[in-house]
Structure 1
Amino acid sequence: MAFSHDGHWLATTSDDSTIRVWSPTGAGDPLVLRGHERVVWGAAFNADGTRLVSAGDDGTVRVWDPRGMGLVSVLRGHEREAWVAAFDPGGRRVFSGGVDGTVRSWDLSDRSHRVLNRHDGKVAGLAVSPDGKRVASAGTDGTIQVADADGGAKPMVLRGHEGEAWNAAFSPDGRWLVSAGHDGTLRVWDLTGTVPPLVRRADTIQIRYAAFSPDGRHVATGGQDGTVRMWDAHRDLPPLILRGHQGLVWAVAFSPDGRRLASAGTDGTVRIWPTSGRGTPVVLRGHQNMVWSVAFSPDGRWVAGTGHDGTARLWRTDAATPPVTVGGFATTVEGIEFSRDGKLLATAHGDGTVRLWRCTACEPINDLLARVDRRLARE
């Protein structure tokens, strides 16, 4: 057990291979640091509290940044589990949806919120348009709703899926919307109403997720059959099929440059594929059970996953290092997304909360170097 020198933090070690960093007041959940493979015997803070060193039975001494993931806010309002959350482009609002069937808008300046629209079922997917003016939601009632982000006009309702609609995503120009459903179809909707939706049979059972590439030319899907597929967004061409997952693929995400595609699966892995289709994927392990969501940071340096084990994990994409693991939520972690500037993450939880986290390590490299320069100048 060790206190930071300013008394603001308490670190404890355990035979469960973790270090936990607590507020001595008992407020909030602890930050859980994972990496040791056996009992952790001791820990100590440096003078300014920016580093924590630990020693373990695995023969390693590890140096941690105990401030690497700090809780900024907990947003409460959903009556049941919150499943999805997304930032607006300016980072001033967060939108969320969940089991209570509502889509909610949260103003981060004062933490106030309101209900934008309701589904006659659970809200399983959520997306914000690139200009921040519209919010699309996918519901287990089989509909896709496109609502005014300011809560003005009545939502546009898109019908066609037979059974649950699992997610929706806007194209980079905001004209097109792609949706994935339990009926195994991928649907590309023209939001101007000029042309009818393009429908593809993407899986024999269901597809759980669909995402546009950054250039808007391709759509990636993950499905029940364990494959990840890349489709031409507007032409009826055979897809590129990527195989490797064992079981359902819950989510997919393109890197910002479009050269990589991350997928999250029931097999507990996150896989990063080259979108060229050549080469083998990088397989990221750490979650103890199925991985439900995946997201790249805006600069592509990090990929985040959340899973059934109640943790959020962040891996560096440019180095073979263990993930940063955040736990202690006392509930499941259903979804995760980075803010556009990469400084915050939003997570949706099984207790109905949406939580905002500050990730110092995930900041764009120029911001991180500037922070280091300022600290060195002070010292």
Structure 2
Amino acid sequence: MANVTFEQVTKRFEDYVAVNNLNLEIEDGEFLVFVGPSGCGKTTSLRLLAGLESITQGQISIGDRRVNELSPKDRDIAMVFQSYALYPHMSVFENMAFSLQLQGKSSIEIKQRVHGAAQQLGIEKLLNRKPKELSGGQRQRVAVGRAIVRKPAVFLMDEPLSNLDAKLRVQARKEISKLHTDLKTTFIYVTHDQVEAMTMGDRIAVMKDGILQQVDTPSNLYNNPTNMFVAGFIGSPAMNFFEVERLEQGGKPYLKWGQTLIHLMFPETEDRLLTLGIRPENIYHPQYLPPDIQGFKIKAVVNLVEMMGNELIVYLETPEGSELVARLDPRVKVRSGETLDLLLDSQRIYLFDSHQQTIQFMFNETV
């Protein structure tokens, strides 16, 4: 069993708390991704698991073993770093074989494991080359191959694609995902790139300021964020946020956004001032409105248009002075300075209270 458990794990560097009371269960064979902005604690969590940092408080287990006091070599893990950390004076074969030699494996077994991993990664023809003779994508494969030959219980990957160009990153994402499917081993992956997280992870753990905000499937994170930070971090372009006021008219609860009144049913808050969220992809131009979409209309002035081929990313300003980003059908004809009538899908809006927590509600109508 290679399940991994963090129990009330905290890491302090003097007065700075890098990881704060982390509780997380990672299942055997799962691909879990830690994601969050720089300084959120994701890499520190990985290093605590790897044994590269000591735990201030709490316990980490791999399978049924507590590993707090074990050295990295005794934890049955293999790590792929952002820098790849290949030995420049060694050939690809020697880099991949080095850890097996330290373990005292026979030359026959070493050759079998290295050639097997190289074949799996498509780098058999590179085994005699030195790292300086390789491209970035090839070095990344060698670093992964060096981890594979160890046959660890857990693979740890710390932003392994950040040094690759955009096209290679897409290719490498597919290769790592396929590798996880083939090996059926627990993968724990750290990235600041939410596209990597959404496309690769079985589950995603979102962190901020050392605190785990939410851990869930990509779909649930996108559709049911637990708070305003997760809602804004997952999705690109990011969710739009607007201040709205809660009021009552005729005994019914409404939200007031500019001149628009939105009738809500059963809002679970007593806060008067709330935050409304809407994703750019849930904003439509009336000319290209999909069937069965209902909502409320707003006017906004276009500041900038980005033509992406399959879509338009339009940056606008509302009459209240708020910035708005919309992802529109590419057939829309729009220019800077133009005023657009837009429709916001009422079934896809989010509400957040004064503590930035998601509020459950039912939409009824606009006035």
What TM-score does the superposition give when structure 2 sets the normalisation length? 0.24
More strand by share: 1
Larger radius of gyration: 2
Higher helix share: 2
Structure 1 length-normalised TM: 0.24
